Amino acid sequence: METAVNKLFEAYRSNSPIELNQFDFKTKEEAYNVQDMILDLKKSELNEHLAGYKISLTSKTTQDMFICDSPLYGGMTNVTIKDKVLLSDYNEPLLELELVFLVDEDIEIDDTDEIIMKKCRVAPGIEVPDGRYKNWFPNTNLYEILADGAVNGAVVIGEPQKVSYDDIDDIKGSLIFNGKFVKEGKSSEVLGHPVNSVKWLAKILNEQGKKLSKGLFISTGTFVLPERLQVGSYEAIYENLGSVKLEVI
């Protein structure tokens, strides 16, 4: 486990990806422990701090790709929040359409959908997954993804607002690149409704002795299968929420 921690942390720090299939993880718990230890190193060695979480595998399609029957989460630090990125700062980055919840009050495991919506603001978002492995997508296995912080790279958070459950129920998100339409998807791809991602995360964090606390963000899961990130201008447009932009140079 220590070898995995050191190799993945160095790959992160130096942006030098490593080969796949190096680690013999046996359980999700073991891989989550590696993720936590890497996050501790980011804090102690790089002065980063936990700012939020991304949730992956929130649709049947993505779960089937990685032979998994549940979502995964990854902790994201303050340096991952972007509105402009340099492509060369990443390994093999992708792009996803995601809504981002901003937690204004601690989330409890028995909170209802309506209570969670009242405790959070919701923003249009873009997530940039990126792995610390060579040729990682879609070739990583489940445990490699987990150990690597659910392959988190960057997140773009638009203007948050208070909305209701119905405001984001089965809404459309569209991806525009250099002014041209690329693809669209629905919020129902995210565990039926994005609030379900927040509920799932609160419960699994509780099982691990953690809490979904005020001040954190949650990138709740993609509306669409990811696109390869390219140099240019992206815009994600969501019904009832507006849009957010990402410049890639």
Predicted confidence (pLDDT) per residue in 54-79, tens digit:
999 898 888 777 777 789 999 999 99
Say if residue 137's pLDDT is above 80. yes
What per-residue confidence (pLDDT) applies to 62? 82
pLDDT tens, residue by residue, 100-110: 999 999 999 99
> 187-200: per-residue pLDDT in tens?
999 999 999 999 99
pLDDT attached to residue 123: 98
Cβ atoms 158, 243 nearer than 8 A = yes
Domain ranges of the chain: 2-248
The pLDDT value recorded for residue 200 is 97
pLDDT of residue 84: 96
User: Over 80: is that where the pLDDT of 1 sits?
Assistant: no
CATH superfamily label, 2-248: Fumarylacetoacetase-like, C-terminal domain (3.90.850.10)
For all residues of the chain together, what is the average pLDDT?
96
24 contacts: CB under 8 Å, gap ≥ 6: none
Q: For residues 63 and 207, which has the higher predicted lDDT (pLDDT)? A: 207
Averaged over 130-152, what is the pLDDT?
95
pTM of the model: 0.95
